[in-house]
Each structure stands twice: as C-alpha cells, then as structure tokens.
C-alpha cells in the first residue's frame, strides 16, 4: 500500500482539516484624512494592555497638523471613575492612504522603529460615520463610531467583516451601548 492513502486515512481519522483561509488584512484604498479627523467613540476593541484601565467612555480624537502628521488624543473613564488621556502622533504610510503608524512616546524617540505601531483603517463608512481599525498581524482591532452608540445590526456586519479578515473576536470587548 502506498503511504499517501494511509496518510490521508490517518489524517481523516484524526480530524485533520485545512484551516479556513481568511481574507488578508487590507487597508482601505482611499482615506480622506480631513474627513477622518475629528472625534470618534470606541464601540468595541480587542483587549490590549494599554486599555486595561479603561472602564468606559473611550474616545479618540484626531487632528491634522501643519507638518502633515496627525495629533492623536485617546481618552477613557477608568474603573475608579477618573479620566485618563494619552497623546500621540500618527503619520501616513507612503503609497497606502488607509495605513497609518502611530506612536505615544516622546518625539525624541520617534527614530526608534519599534515605537511606531501599525494603525490600518480596514473599513470606513462612505460618510465617515464609522470605521474599523486594525493591524496586519490581527492583534489589534477597534470599531469606532461618530456617535456614542451603534446600531446592533451594523455592529454585527462590521464584526463579520473583521472575522472574514481572520480577526479572532472571541475576546472582543464591547465598550459602548448597542441599539
């Protein structure tokens, strides 16, 4: 007996199944930063260490700067009810309008490559009322809205888009009300 049929039978018996192929993570091909700038409410996110202290009222505000970078201010209400903010800067990735890199360390450290994190807008509403942001390694994901809550059906569609790109949303933290 040739080894291939035997190997196939063993694989079938053990439940070997090829993993589902996820759509590659891709940033949106066009992103108008002037429309993207402004105030956003976080609806949900994948858990990340720097948001561990956040209990609610999570927001991000982006402002275009004269030097072509983007000022970033993230804020949230902590578990003890106080407010915490983090200020950073984002830069565009040449040739990829929907890809940004963001840092929250002092400017004098900006030359260090590891201080810049990928921030890819992977889906955005044509009217810039919602956005899905992630990274190519599928470690980070945020669902953002211009409003402090989101329609549950829209939220389900955005989650499905992220899952189709291979994001594991089992640990997703819903940080704002759905309606």
3-class SS at 76?
A: strand
**CATH superfamily placement of domain 24-170:** Calycin beta-barrel core domain (2.40.128.20)
Per-residue pLDDT of the chain (179 residues; tens, 9 = 90+): 444 444 333 333 444 444 455 778 999 999 999 999 999 999 999 998 889 899 999 999 999 999 999 999 999 999 999 999 999 999 999 999 999 999 998 888 877 778 899 999 999 999 999 999 999 999 999 999 999 999 999 999 999 999 999 999 999 999 999 99
pTM, full prediction: 0.85
Residues forming a β-bridge with 139: none
CA-closest candidate to residue 35, choices 64, 69, 68, 59: 64
Evaluate whether 175 touches 58 at the Cβ level (below 8 Å). yes
Q: Which of the 8 DSSP states describes residue 45?
A: E
CA-closest candidate to residue 99, choices 77, 73, 76, 117: 117
């Amino acid at each position: 007996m040739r080894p291939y049929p035997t190997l196939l039978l063993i694989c079938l018996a053990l439940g070997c199944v090829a993993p589902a192929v996820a759509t590659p993570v891709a940033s949106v091909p066009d992103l108008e930063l002037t429309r993207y700038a402004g105030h956003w409410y976080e609806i949900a996110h994948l858990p990340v260490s720097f948001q561990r202290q956040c209990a609610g009222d999570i927001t991000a505000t982006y402002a275009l700067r004269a030097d072509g970078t983007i000022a970033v201010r993230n804020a949230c209400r902590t578990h003890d009810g106080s407010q915490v903010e983090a200020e950073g800067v984002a830069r565009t990735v040449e040739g990829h309008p929907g890809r940004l890199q963001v840092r929250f360390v002092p400017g004098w450290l900006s030359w260090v490559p590891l201080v810049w994190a990928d921030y890819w807008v992977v889906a955005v509403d044509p009217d810039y009322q919602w956005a899905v942001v992630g990274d190519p390694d599928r470690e980070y994901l945020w669902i953002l809205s211009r409003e402090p809550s989101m329609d549950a059906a829209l939220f389900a569609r955005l989650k499905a888009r992220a899952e189709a790109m291979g994001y594991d949303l089992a640990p997703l933290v819903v940080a704002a009300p759905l309606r």
